[in-house]
Structure 1
Amino acid sequence: MTEHHDRQVRVLADVQAERDAQDALFGVQDLPDGTGITGDEERATRARHVCDVMFERGEGTFRDVFYEEVMEALAETDPVKLRGELIQTIAVGVKWVEAIDRREGR
């Protein structure tokens, strides 16, 4: 296995440990999604635009990408599309943590 793959495995193990801790604290939760509130689509569009501009300037950050993904998920009301947006958001979060770990020599 490569160092990159090993890092991903460690980060995903940390995510699994956090999920286990959440279940231990709160049990299984079936809350409403709460997405698609008035204004969410506009905020998602604005977040996409800001992200594009930042990268065009050469100043894009993980924050920009993560925020865009979060806003796209919050704007979505279709459960299938919402799931896809959440997976994208989580994947960006994992990628961000991997970058932090690389910088820290983990």
Structure 2
Amino acid sequence: MYPALFTTPGVRDFAESVDQERQAQLKKFGDQEHPDGTGLPVYEHAARRYRDQADRNAASSVLAWRDILLEEVYETLAESDPAKLRAELLQVAAVCAAWIWDLDQRSAADPS
């Protein structure tokens, strides 16, 4: 195979799954180039709204993966600086990896 590049549980499987999906996208669509479409004021408002909602849900002990992902997605959409946009996209990917890991762990714990 290849040397261990990932140390966080589940990240290697996540990366391999993302790679498989990217290969399917490349096969279907080829390389794509699109404008970012980010940085609009409506997204800044939504980012604040989802951040506040996540904070409220965390304070009430009802925080869900949905809350975390939506907060990160809207923070991403609000960003126009390319370096900051990239950092936000990485945060979205990391949340997706964590959520998928959680799903996989639940599936492994429930053999039915």
User: Is 1:97–2:100 an aligned residue pair?
Assistant: yes
2:31 corresponds to which of 28, 31, 38: 28
CA distance in 2, matches of 1:11, 1:40: 28
State the distance in 2 between where 1:11 and 1:101 align.
11
- 2:105 maps to a residue whose letter is R
Task: Return structure 1 stretches of 4+ with deviation > 6 angstroms.
Answer: none
After superposition, residues 1-106 of structure 1 pair within 5 angstroms as 5=8, 7-105=10-108
Letter in 2 for 1:44: A
1:6/1:51 CA distance change after superposition, 3 Å: closer
Deviation for aligned residue 1:37: 2.1
**Which one has a larger percent helix, Structure 1 or Structure 2?**
1
Runs (5+) with no aligned partner, structure 1: none
| Structure 2 Cα separation of the partners of residues 16 and 50 of structure 1 | 32
CA offsets per residue over residues 31-70 of structure 1, 9 Å max, x none? 0001112311011001100000000000001110000000
State the identity %.
Answer: 38
SS at match of 1:93: helix
Alignment RMSD (CA, Å): 1.7
